[in-house]
Amino acid sequence: MKNENIKFYSIKDEIRILGIDDAPFDFRRDERTYIIGTIFRGGKWLDGILRSEVTVDGTDSTDRIIEMVNKSKFKDLRIIMLDGLGFGGFNLVDIEKLFRKTGKAVIVIVRKMPDFISIKRAIKGLENREFYERCMERAGKPKRVETRKGRFIYIQYNGIEFRDAESIVKISSTRSLIPEPIRVAHLIASGIVLGESKGNA
C-alpha cells in the first residue's frame, strides 16, 4: 500500500531539516563508519547534531537513520535530507521505508546524474542485489533542481510532492549549490574522522 504524501500548505524559511552524511572510512580496514545528522532551521540556523554508525557496504543504514530520527529529542523535524542514497559505501537507504517508519518526508541530494547502467552492472553478482535494486527503484529517477542561476543538482524524494521538495531544497541552499544541512553534515563528518574538514561540501 502506497503511503500518502505529506501536504505542505505553506513552506516556511525556518522549516526543520535533518541533513545526513557519512564520515570518511577505509574500505580495507573499517567495518563501520559514522553518519552525522545536522538539525537546521531552513538553511540558516544549526540547532543540533545527531550521530550514529552504519556497516560499510551493509544493509543497515535505513534502520540506523530511523532510530536516529525516532529517538531524537527534536520532534519538530519535517524533512530528512540525505547526501546521496548510499552511506558507508554501498549501504543503500530504502527511502520509502524511511518515510513510512518516521513520518518525515525524505529528500535525497544527488550532485550528478548517476550512471544507472554501470551501477546495475556492478551489483549484478552481489549478495544483496535484490535489496539494492529495490532501494534504487523506490528512490525513483533523480529530477533536476536549479539552486544557483544556471547551475543544477538532482533530487530523489518520497512522502512529498516534487514542487514542495524543490522549494525546500532552494530555501535551504543558502551558501552553496547544495543545501546547508548537507554541506555542514559533510564538514562535521570529515572533521571528526580526519581531524579537519576536507573535500568539497
Strand order in the sheet with 143-148: 45-55, 32-41, 16-22, 79-83, 105-110, 151-158, 143-148
| 18 closest CA partner among 59, 56, 75, 57 | 75
Tell me the per-residue pLDDT of 113-168, one tens digit each, with 9 for 90 and over.
Answer: 988 888 888 888 788 899 999 999 999 999 999 999 999 999 999 999 999 999 99
| Per-residue pLDDT at 67 | 98
What is the chain's mean pLDDT, rounded? Answer: 94
| Per-residue pLDDT at 2 | 58
| Per-residue pLDDT at 27 | 87
Please report how the helices 95-102 and 61-70 are oriented relative to each other, as an axis angle in degrees rounded to 10.
20
**Residue 107 or 128, more confident:** 107
| Per-residue pLDDT at 118 | 87
Beta bridge partners of 144: 154
Taking 70 as the threshold, does the pLDDT of residue 106 lie above it? Answer: yes
Query: What's the start-to-end Cα distance of the chain, in Å?
Result: 37
Strand 91-92 to 79-83 pairing = unpaired
Tell me the per-residue pLDDT of 20-56, one tens digit each, with 9 for 90 and over.
Answer: 999 999 988 999 999 999 999 999 999 999 999 999 9
| Per-residue pLDDT at 86 | 95
Tell me the per-residue pLDDT of 77-86, one tens digit each, with 9 for 90 and over.
Answer: 999 999 999 9
Which domains does the chain possess? 16-192 (3.30.2170.10)
